[in-house]
Structure 1
Amino acid sequence: LNNFGIINIDSEFNPGFTNSGLLNNTGMIKINHPDAISNNSGSITGSGTYIQTGGTSNNTGNISLARIEIQSGIFNQQSGSLTATSIANNGTFNFTGGTLSAESLSNTGLFLGTGTIAAETFTNAGTLAPGNSPGMLTIEGNYIQTTRGVLAIELASATSYDILNVTGEVSLAGILKIILYDDYEPAYGTYFDFLTAELLNGEFDSIAGAAGYRWSVAYLDLIGLDGKIDTARLTANEVPIPAALWLFVSGMLGIIGLRNMWKIN
């Protein structure tokens, strides 16, 4: 099947799109209906675009297009391959299997994934959540997190936690969000090397950490078997007792001591 125009999926009677064969797309495939369920187990190739404004798309086949744009809705990359010159996500993108590659990948929505992404540049202005509770996501390329970006890291134990591994350079800003998985309570002083890169630039603007801890991030140059690697290390610290509270407690203890003295006398 050859498409040189627009395939527009917005009918209430048949909101889905299924391809199990070969579709050559030099035009546009547009998924508009909010209840649309689109499944590709075949091959969609060409110089065209794939635009989703609602519904759910599932790919277990091969998609190779110039541009893929998820304006809203859910896109599940489950197996097979997904290749594009540019991928833009403003919905929910689940990367759970297969291969994913793009010259540029931008996220302003929610991007969840485990495995390896080949992207010259991954720009995050939304929320990036590596792993599948927990796990590792590798970006073969560079990672840029803007001031609006959030990196969400789940911690399950001292040895099991989300890791973002970047083979190129990382430029940091925005928020680091810490999530304690399955009621995990790390001991004070426990640290987590959650981000590795060839080169780290900048730092997170703020940390949205789980309550009960004072979270800190150190940006380190570590030497490993493959040479120097830059690492962001998160540490769970004890929350210090404020000086005013110490004065209050000390004062109360002093009053109790005086009362005891008066009783003795």
Structure 2
Amino acid sequence: MAGHSKWANIKHKKQKEDKRRGKLFSKLSRKIAVAARQGGGDPEMNSDLRMAIQKAKDNNMPNDNIERAIKRGTGNLDGLTYESFVYEGYGPGGVAIYMDIMTDNRNRTAAEVRHILDKNGGNLGSNGCVAWMFQRKGELVLDLSEFEVGEDELLLEALEAGAEDLEYGEEDAVIYTDPANYEDARKALEEAGYEFESADLAMVPDNEVSLDKKDAKKMLRLMDQLEDHDDIQEVYSNFDISDEIQAELEAEDN
């Protein structure tokens, strides 16, 4: 699995995270509000808003929260105005880090993100320093414990639905699509009976950087702190941790 998928798997294992639900809803609200402000409040006419609403529903966000976020974005409710942009940088072992940011105070966010990176063996880079290492793709993650489907069968169904590629692992399968085909492919596969553990547009790394145990421990701590920051919507990286090192780190945490 590529680094972004590895991190997603780790997060799902850690997820007795109801305490973070409020933080997640806050981030989703920002995403909806920014999409509504930039493209209007009608999801039928605004694909970014439509996908932001779908992501909120995937995470069981109440409809009232979704409606309030849309109204804030279109100016029908008072609230802070957020801007959306990207930060790029490096983590332990020279891995690439790509962050989607939404904030009402760019200077504050820059200082806080730089501090998190610096204290965990990373650094903030210039615009474009790592973006070339990633491609934006639709990413549909299937929990294989929930579906008894072989790799060949799933690949055939995914391709027929308009997907581009499949990574089939022991626990999860990740289906990749062109961003333009993401919604249609998801709909077709859901109509075929699949329910996804997660589904979104993501920055997928072209290549991975394998980390030793020391850097892996630092990297996981860094990712956890970046994910936890209120202004960081999504974090993507190209790190990879072997199953053996991951098992050692999990044993140390228990």
Band the TM-score falls in, shorter-chain normalisation: under 0.3
Larger radius of gyration: 1
Structure 1 length-normalised TM: 0.16
Q: Which has the higher strand share?
A: 1
Structure 2 length-normalised TM: 0.17
Q: Which has the higher helix share?
A: 2
**Greater RCO structure (CA 8 Å; 6+ sep):** 2
